[in-house]
Amino acid sequence: MTIDEIIENFSFLEDWEDRYRYVIELGRLLEPLPPELKTDDNKVHGCASQVWLATSMKYHDRGEPSLTIRGDSDAHIVRGLVAILLSLCSGKTASEILKADPAALFVQLGLQEHLTPQRSNGFRSMVARIQAEAKGALASANVLSS
């Protein structure tokens, strides 16, 4: 599901309980991460529940790296948050990922005010991890093109 579809669907849901159920449903639709990718290297630290993000990179003809990100969590609501974040970032170029504003998206969706402090911290940890991967991909691309 695209991030635009998710935003549109959220706009139809006025009640927080309906939004909460929708986030959980997005998590259920997320393809499970294979056990071999649930490694310590892929684990996101700073999350109360277990979260894994596995990133692969490919280069376009013009040398810009794009990142495909897969993720999973052992908590239903967090798995839904992962799904939203991946809809925003996965498949994008590293530059696009660094220009994206996941925090603004979560405010727009009304999630910021309904997340516990632990989940908010976990969300920030996931965003930081994805941004670090994007910065690393750009640095790698600059080294390769030098």
Hey, which residues are catalytic here?
A: 47
Q: Are 4 and 56 in contact (CB under 8 A)?
A: no
The residue assigned the tokens 């909460």 is 20
Report how far residue 137's alpha carbon sits from residue 57's, in angstroms, rounded to the nearest whole number: 7
Q: Are 65 and 138 in contact (CB under 8 A)?
A: yes
Residues with Cβ within 8 Å of residue 38, at least 6 apart in sequence = 52, 72
Distances (CA, A) of 96 to 85, 90, 101: 13, 10, 10
